[in-house]
Chains A and B, each alone.
Chain A
């Protein structure tokens, strides 16, 4: 749910306020093999299975320099409510004594997650000249620590995002071509570490940068056919190395992801739009080797047990449908 109010009575400056809310109804604790349903956020747009309530107020100013040149700034605060998830427990090797498993397995089936709160600053320049429209947006997101059972466990580093959106409308009925590109970078995270007997656990900046950079370029073209617009779409995503996805706090492997398909939009009237997208997706993940069954971990100060993950290539179909109604 969201709502935005903009004041238009000032020449050259349009302040706006917005309130957004997320009222989830999904199941946040998944047990057994159901955990596999949580997918890579590079492959699916929504990788979350249930969460707490979200409330996000925003305040901003739009500065129209000319009729089609805008400089826009905004700041938003996102409050994330608590939710529960299944308790972490290690995987036991085959043949482990059930009595040992019972003793080592935590008795509490769920734990409480208190997600960090966000503050995001955004600045954008948008311009239209003739048939060309272009916009460049930059944002910085700061987040407080996430706590598990009231113990601060993780705090993502400052996140930077740069996004370019442009489109060109061809003459007559040759349609519109859109190009989008984005780049995301995060500073080092703060992670839970045993400090000493007095302070116990605390958050410290990680020694090894566990974030990765993500690059994405997308290109699409829509031909108008009456009320229908249809055309090809394609994109390339490149994640340079293993790292956290700063959006979802998930550990995501490096990969190259290509997609190509068909995009369609149908507007039977001015208030309604139907969208459909069919894409073929190809992914490739490089090998992640572990020499002699272990990897050097600077935080642990030694080698930790690990397994080599071989190169993985995959292909699949991705479809999505949408309905927009203007009231």
Chain B
């Protein structure tokens, strides 16, 4: 039974890939053909592909510094709240690396 189901799955997959290949050669749709035979809306198809690419690369160019909670006191407190504005703010590395 398991083997029968596997064969059915292979047959269904192969037919879903191969059958449309023959059908696609019979039209002149610039952005391809939908499953129901209609021409695909070109601008919408381009938009959904672009959206899929953007979402699949959600963190490209977005790397930032892993500021851990233990460093929250150093990086979080806004300098406007310092009692004296004259000294350097308590953030960043030590005084020898300014």
B-contacting residues of A (Cβ < 8 Å)? 2, 4, 6, 8-14, 16, 18, 20, 22, 24, 30-36, 38, 41, 46-48, 51-52, 54, 56, 58, 60, 62-70, 72-76, 78, 80, 83, 85-91, 94, 101-102, 104-106, 109, 113, 115, 118, 120-122, 124, 126, 128, 133, 135, 137, 139, 141, 143, 146, 148, 153-154, 161, 163, 191, 210, 247-251, 253, 305-307, 309-310, 312
- Whether A64 lies near B56 (C-beta < 8 A) is no
Q: How far is the CB of B83 from chain A (nearest CB, A)?
A: 10
Residue contact A128 to B41, C-beta cutoff 8 Å? yes
Report if B21 contacts A (CB, 8 A).
yes
B 6-41 to A, binary, CB cutoff 8 A, 1 in contact else 0: 000000000011001101110001011111111111
Q: Is the CB of A62 within 8 A of B45?
A: yes
Q: Out of B56, B64, B78, B97, name the residue touching A250 (CB < 8 Å).
A: B64
| Inter-chain CB contacts under 8 Å: number | 260
| Docked complex Cα distance between A141 and B56 (Å) | 8
12 residue pairs of the A-B complex, CB under 8 angstroms, read A2-B53, A14-B40, A18-B53, A47-B64, A66-B36, A70-B44, A72-B52, A74-B56, A124-B51, A126-B44, A247-B58, A309-B77
Question: Given the complex of chains A and B, what is the CA–CA distance between A161 and B55 in angstroms?
Answer: 9
A76 and B56 within 8 A (CB): yes
Give Cα A69–Cα B77 distance, bound, in whole angstroms: 49
Contact, CB under 8 Å: A250 / B45: no
Assess the A109–B63 pair: CB atoms within 8 A.
no
- Given known A91-B90, A105-B95, A143-B59, contact A10–B21 (CB-CB < 8 A): yes
Contact among B44, B55, B71, B75 for A74, CB-based, below 8 A: B55
Residues of chain B whose beta carbon lies under 8 Å from any beta carbon of chain A: 16-17, 20-21, 23-25, 29, 31-41, 44-45, 47-53, 55-69, 71-79, 81, 87-98
B55 in contact with A67 (CB, 8 Å): no
Chain A neighbourhood of B81, CB < 8 A: 309-310
Residues of B within 8 A of A120 (CB): 55-59
The answer to whether B66 and A62 touch across the interface, beta carbons within 8 angstroms, is: no
Do A11 and B38 have beta carbons less than 8 Å apart?
no
Tell me whether A137 and B55 are in contact (CB under 8 A).
yes
Interface-central residue, A51, A70, A307, by most chain B CB under 10 Å? A70
In the docked arrangement, what's the CA distance between A41 and B16, Å?
45
The answer on a CB contact under 8 Å between B49 and A4 is yes
Known contacts A4-B49, A9-B21, A307-B73: A32-B92 contact under CB 8 Å: yes
